[in-house]
Structure 1
Amino acid sequence: MGRRIPFWRTGFHLRLVQMGCTNRPFYHIAAIPRKKLIGRVPDEVIGCFDPMPNERDEKIVAVDLERLAFWLGKGATPSSGVYRLLGLMGFLPVHPQTYAEAWKLRLQKLEKPKQSENDSSE
């Protein structure tokens, strides 16, 4: 028989696992082994993310911070989506992609009034 490798040495990722349906997505933040096939049931769900804004225009994220700290301590690497969520929550440093998107949105907001002024003057 082969020697069993402890679970923390196999390597884990923290990923977003899509649930829900086509028009109403919902994501679980899950700890999944690196070599696990897509579509398999995750080992542990440590949180959830609802990307659809509610009546107050909020997107809901709920995470068990103790389990998150446990998995990060064991060497689990967050995917880019999970890293961005954790950065916005203040648990990890803010992802650079978040800054880039914020600058793009700012520039778009500044350009819209200029375009409307040009359209009205013509």
Structure 2
Amino acid sequence: MKAVFLMKNTSSMFGLNVGVLKEFTPSLSQRNVTCYPSSMVHLSSLLSKQYHGGHVVIRLALAGHNQANRPFYRIVAAFNKRARDGKYMEQLGTYDPLPNIYNEKLVSLNFDRIKYWIGCGAHTSKPVSKLLGLAGFFPLHPMTVTEAERRRAAALTESSREREEEL
């Protein structure tokens, strides 16, 4: 199942509002593959020759797909030691950090494939963990809550200063 989420910049309990926009069925290219529960994924001998012990740690991370002054990220499953914008095994979603005309940041995630890779022992990077926490897939990252509390406190002090200046 693939879901598209909208993150509004308006303040809420955790600083961002998240809601399901649409749900899609998985594409035909996604296959059901059995996964062994371990902390590492064993790949074919062709891929595993470049790593010690034949095991590779897979990481769910953001891969930059940027233009000048226009950041855009793909959420990908890739080898742990790859370059930031290097090759990846599978694209699992996208993240557009710039707000659109409705003041929303767009995130699309393929939950079925994310579950598969995490079941295979893939690790998540901090930005991906934060996005998955906001989407409800993981618990919220502690820094997300802390940052929202700081923003809320700053907004309260700013509004109280404005009230005092009016009086």
Q: Same fold (TM over 0.5)?
A: yes
TM-score in terms of structure 2 length: 0.65
Give ranges in structure 2 of 5+ residues lacking alignment: 1-43
Stretch of structure 1 that moved more, 65-74 or 49-58: 49-58
Stretch of structure 1 that moved more, 82-91 or 105-114: 105-114
State the Cα deviation string for residues 30-68 of structure 1 (Å, max 9, x = none): 111112234312121110011111122111111111111
- Computed over aligned residues only, the root mean square deviation of the Cα atoms, in angstroms, reads 2.2
- Determine the structure 2 residue equivalent to 1:93: 139
2:129 paired with 1:83? yes
Q: What does 1:1-122 align with in structure 2 at a 5 Å threshold?
A: 4=45, 5=48, 9-121=55-167
Higher relative CO (CA 8 A, sep ≥ 6), structure 1 or 2?
A: 2
TM-score in terms of structure 1 length: 0.87
Structure richer in helix, relative to its length: 1
Across the two proteins, how many residue pairs are aligned to each other? Answer: 119
- The amino acid across from 1:11 in the alignment is V
- The amino acid across from 1:20 in the alignment is N
Using the aligned pairs only, state the percent identity.
34
Give ranges in structure 1 of 5+ residues lacking alignment: none
Partner of 1:113: helix, strand, or coil? helix
